[in-house]
Amino acid sequence: MNPRQKTGLVIFILGLILFLGQEFPRIFDIVREYVTFPVVIMLIGLYIILANRPHKKNSVDE
């Protein structure tokens, strides 16, 4: 996935969250109670750890 596709996916997800927030405000009020600063920091850390792993190169000895 190239950077343009990743950016498009992020924008789409943010738009989806905004749309659902307008349609179902009660659900997002419940979610907002649990989304605190430490939770956001932990999620960012998990993303950095899991998403940015270097790919293993399959090297064949010749």
Examine residue 24 and state whether it is found in any structural domain, yes or no.
yes
Residues contacting residue 27 through CB under 8 Å, at least 6 positions apart? 20
Classify residue 62: in a domain, yes or no: no
Question: Letter for the amino acid at 46?
Answer: L
**3-class DSSP state of 55:** coil
Our CA angle for 23, 36, 19, nearest 5°, is 15
- Does residue 25 fall inside a structural domain? yes
Question: Is 57 a member of any domain?
Answer: no
- What is the total count of domains within the chain? 1
- Domain that residue 18 falls in: 3-51
Per-residue pLDDT tens digits of the chain, which is 62 residues long: 788 888 888 899 888 888 888 888 888 888 888 888 888 888 888 888 887 666 666 655 54
Whether 19 is covered by a domain: the verdict is yes
Q: How far apart, in whole angstroms, are the C-alpha atoms of residue 55 and residue 46?
A: 17
Is 18 domain-assigned? yes
Distance of alpha carbon 36 from its chain centroid, rounded?
Answer: 16
Q: pTM of this prediction? A: 0.50
